[in-house]
Amino acid sequence: SAVISQKPSRDICQRGTSLTIQCQVDSQVTMMFWYRQQPGQSLTLIATANQGSEATYESGFVIDKFPISRPNLTFSTLTVSNMSPEDSSIYLCSVVAVGNTIYFGEGSWLTVV
């Protein structure tokens, strides 16, 4: 199994500011992903966090809005830039662990006011 720690767990932010969310895994993993879950909605994949190279973004998501870093095989960050109330969501980190099981962090609950 893999234990995933996300920080912050919750935050309330002012519009126009940026917030960086951290994802730490207790073991080395090859694949890491970031998802967004808007209120009352399902999860949508934002991007694949690639170790040592630029993240791969899904349609509708861009690097300027959601810059992602992945400096090593256990850690990644997602920044939500120039936030607006529409960015109020749960942001979740996901990894593919040994045995090809896909685990999720507990999520970072972001409210933009």
Partner 1 sequence: AQSVTQLGSHVSVSEGALVLLRCNYSSSVPPYLFWYVQYPNQGLQLLLKYTSAATLVKGINGFEAEFKKSETSFHLTKPSAHMSDAAEYFCAVSGKSTSYGKLTFGQGTILTVHP
Chain contacts with partner 1 (rule: CB under 8 A): 31, 33, 35, 41-45, 48, 92, 94-96, 100-107, 109
Nearer to partner 1, 19 or 84 (CB): 19
Nearer to partner 1, 54 or 106 (CB): 106
The CA distance from 50 to 31, in Å, is: 7
Nearer to partner 1, 15 or 50 (CB): 50
Please, what is the minimum distance in Å from the beta carbon of residue 69 to partner 1?
Answer: 19
Please, what is the minimum distance in Å from the beta carbon of residue 64 to partner 1?
Answer: 22
